[in-house]
Structures are given as C-alpha cells and as structure tokens.
Chain A
Amino acid sequence: MSVFEGFKFRKVSSVIHNLDPRVKFFFVCILFVMAIMFNQFLALVVLFFIPLPFVFMARVNRQWLRSLRGAALLAVFIFATNFIFGYFYPSSSIPHVDGAIDTSMEYFALFERAAAMTLRFVVLIASFSVFFLTTSPDHLGLALQQSHVPYEFCFAFTTAVRFVPVLADEAQTIMDAQKARGLELESGNFIKRVRNYIPILIPLIVNAIRRSLELAEAMESRAWGASDKRTNLYKLNLKRADITMVLITVLMLIIALYIWLFIPVPSLTSLLFT
C-alpha cells in the first residue's frame, strides 16, 4: 500500500505547503499537459526533474520516493506492454523499421520508446504525488469552492481524497484477515492470482458502500444542505509566492510550447547511432 502512503497529506510548514492549492493544481496540470505533449525520452527526463526542487523544498522526499516505489509495479507493466506490442507491431515512430525489428539500433529505439511511455506515467505520478503530499483535503475543497465549483462536487471530491488512506488501511487489514485463513495471494498462475484478489475486493467494496451510506446519514443528521449559501471560516488569497509560482508555471508552458513547435527534440537512439 506504499503507493497510497505517497499521496497522504502530512502537516508540515514549508513554502510549498503554504502555496495556494489552486496554484499548485495549475502547476501540476501544466506538467500533465507537458507530459502528454512530448513523447521523446529526453524531454520526459527533463520533465521528471522539474518537480524535484519542490519535493526538497516541501521536505517530503521520503514520502515522494515511496509513491514512486509503489508505482514501480505498474511502471514495469507499462514498459513490458509497450516493449512487447512495439516488437510485434512496430510503429513508424521507431526509426528505420521495415516490418520487423532486427538490428541493435531498432531494438534500442524500441527500448527507448517503451522507456519514454513508462517515464510519462512516472512523471504524472511524481507531480500528482507532490500535489497531494503538500495539499490538505480541506484546502483542496476550499480551492474548488472558491473556483465556483458546486459544493456537492467539492465535498464528493475531497471526501474521496480523504478516504484513500482509510481504504488503503482497510485493504491491508482485509488482506491480513484472508491470509490468516490460508489465502496465498502470490500463489498459482496468472488467472489464479487474479482470482485470489476476489476475497480482498468484495469486502473492500461492501465496506466502502456501507461506510458511504453511514456517512450520508451522519451528514443528513447534521443538517447537510439545510441552507443554500454556505459560509466559510477561511478564505484563500493569492500571496506573492503564489504569483511567483504562477509566473514560473506560465514560463514553463511557454518554453515547452516553443520547443514543441519549433525545436525538434532528438531521440537518444539518433544521438547514439548516427
């Protein structure tokens, strides 16, 4: 469950933690757009390093690394899928492919493409992890509300975010309970291993539904939706650090757009083999 740990907010006072959540979300979204814009390995390596200064400034290095470690399995799966499919159905984006992959350069190009696709996923995890590690669900809800998103949606969103660690803990307990009844999650062939997760998923889903019904009742008994216009104790105001962060993000986007439109990013294969 370490991947969830890497998204769990912890209260720390740092420049990044104190930034307006809307600004942080804007930054993460721009990083997301940039990761989609580029599919070259070298460009994605650069994108991977962009959140690093923010990770160090927020002092969440350990948790951030944990989120990456948790995503490692999925990353391996993405790499393997891209490599295997790229081998059997080579695309024109792999240089000098004439129907089959047989030279070392073509193998390297295939490897580079699979690595780039994996890195794109890692960049997304890395940037969203920084956001969730440094933004409390309450601030997130407040940001959405002040962006004029209807309160019902804000609440649903923040509740979902807040319950991720709870569900992760519960999933761990359910796994323990089933292991204590002799279930070996890692035994058997692929189909058996998938089937092994049924005793984990059913109690998890049933409990989540039960909890949501209880939460709805608890909220209604505390006058949920009684007044149309809700007031807020806190208000978000953009400070100098927020404006600086917005400017950095916009600058980043302009540079990325310029490179995307006018400067062809070389591939590692072309640098090594030509």
Chain B
Amino acid sequence: MIEVKDLHFSYPTGLEALKGINLTVEDGEFLAIMGQNGAGKTTLVKHFNGLLKPTTGEVLVNGTSTQQISVAKLARNVGFVFQNPDHQLFSESVEDEIVFALKNFGFEGETIKKQVDWALNLLDIEQYRKTSPFMLSGGERKRVALASILAWDPQVIVMDEPTIGQDHQQKEKLQQFIIQLNAQKKTVVVVTHDVEFVAECNPHVILMSQGKILVSGKAEKVLTNPQLVAQASIVPPQITQIFLRLADLGLPTDVIDVHEATKILLEHLRRRK
C-alpha cells in the first residue's frame, strides 16, 4: 500500500510541483493519474519509488517512509517504467537488458534464467532475445523496457505514458496486459494523457491540475464530467462526447465503454420503433 500524506515538493529551481497531495493507493488497485502537462503527475509517481523525496509531508510504501530507504531497495517492490525506453536501454542484447536489474537485486543463476524466459514470453519478444535493443522499433523498445521491469515481479508497477508511440494493436495488447496484471492482484499505476485508453480500462482515476488533485473517482464518473476534465485540459472520451450531445434524447451521459454504448443505443432505437 502507498500512502501519500500532505505531500509538497519543490524542485531546486524553486518550482513548486506538488501542493499538498493526500492519496492512498491500495494493494491490487488500478489507478490512472491524468492531467495537463506540468500538472505534477510524473513528479508525484517519482515519489512512489523514492526517486524524489518530499520537501514536506510523507510518502509511505508498505508502512515505511521513502525518506528512510534507498531507491534500489524501494524498487524491489515498486517497478517504474519510464516514458522513454531510450533512457534505460544500454545492453548488447535484449536478454542482457532484462538480466541487468535481476543481478542488481541479487537473483541467482537459475532464477535469473527462469525470470528472463518468463518476461520475454510475457511481452512477446522472445524472438529478439539476442538482438540489440537499439536495433528494435520504438514500440518494441518500449516492450523491452517493460519486460526489464516486470522480470523481477514487483508488487507495484508504475508506468509513465505507456501508450505513447504504440500503434493501435500494441495499445490494445498493452491494455489487455495491464488488466491481466491487475487481475493477478498487482497494483498498477498509470500516468497518461490517453483518455480513450483509460476509458477502455476503466480504472480508478485521479485528475491533477497545477500540483493538486482535482478529483478522484471511478473513470466513468470522472471522465464523463465535462467541467472537471476541462479543468485538467483533457476532453471526455469520444463515446461520452456523443452521449453528452444526445442527452436531449434522454440517453445517459456517464457512458465510456463502447459495448455498453452499443447496448444503450440499440435499446433506444428498438424503443423508438
């Protein structure tokens, strides 16, 4: 469990990025943090594995303050997938890239082999085992980066903008994959601008603006409120926008899911006949 208590954070330049954040991420929760550029989303999640330490306030991971423990130790429980995979890839092969973190965490020979095989299969990159990560496409590099984090099986997985640079098919796979991880009782925290992606996953959503939390709630409640999402400089999902425009016909306005929308529209058409 991650508890954030009255967290304030200022960068050395004097910029106050977080202004009194209070938040609890329960074990097994799926949380999406959304908001405009510079709202403090990435700054907030960098506190979860101790990369940033609070200026004032406190962040507790499983009851231990992040001030008292090194990033390397926190990372064993909190895996952080950075937005740009090129900020972490350096090894000669995809396999070595995955082995890197496992060695850092003190895994032994056989376990390393088992975990590498598992991660390569999980992300469907087994065929690139001996390929240099620099030879892969952007989307493939992103999957290598993700595999290199999942390999040590952390309890919490934080992903910063996981859908950027992914084509539709990869995005859908990623979505399934995240839902699958969450179903395995993993805590998943996603920082994203991708409102359609969030609408399809339907997690708990936090909207941030100017270093503060605007609102916290289920995706179908938060993303269907045009005033709230406008404050966070995002727009409701396209399905919701259609239903908001058809509100005069007596259709509900809190719809974010395509299947649910189809059902409602068919029902409505049937009734009109």
Query: A: which residues have CB within 8 A of B?
Result: 2, 5, 170, 173-174, 176-184, 198-199, 202-203, 206-207, 210
Contact = CB atoms under 8 A, between A and B. Distances in A.
B96 to A, nearest CB: 11
Contacts, number: 64
Contacts of A179: 51, 71-72, 75
A174 B75 CA distance: 15
Contacts of B70: 184
B76 A203 contact: no
B199 interface: no
B104 A180 contact: no
Interface of B: 12, 46, 49, 51, 70-72, 75-76, 79-80, 82, 84, 86-90, 100-101, 104-105, 134, 148-149, 152
A197 to B, nearest CB: 11
Nearest to B49: A180
Contact of A210 (B86, B88, B100): B86
Nearest to B103: A182
Contacts of A177: 80, 82, 87-88
A162 to B, nearest CB: 18
Given A5-B12, A176-B51, A182 B105 contact: yes
Given A5-B12, A176-B46, A176-B51, A181 B75 contact: yes
A199 B51 CA distance: 17
B90 A181 contact: no
B134 A173 contact: no
A183 B87 CA distance: 14
A70 to B, nearest CB: 12
A182 B88 contact: no
Contact of A180 (B75, B86, B89): B75
A180 B148 CA distance: 11
Nearest to A171: B87
Contacts of A181: 75, 88, 100-101, 104, 148-149
A199 B100 CA distance: 9
30 contacts: A2-B12, A173-B82, A173-B84, A174-B87, A174-B88, A176-B51, A177-B87, A178-B88, A179-B71, A179-B75, A180-B51, A180-B75, A180-B82, A180-B149, A181-B75, A181-B88, A181-B100, A181-B148, A182-B72, A182-B101, A183-B72, A183-B100, A183-B104, A184-B70, A198-B90, A199-B88, A199-B100, A203-B87, A203-B88, A207-B87
A202 B104 contact: no
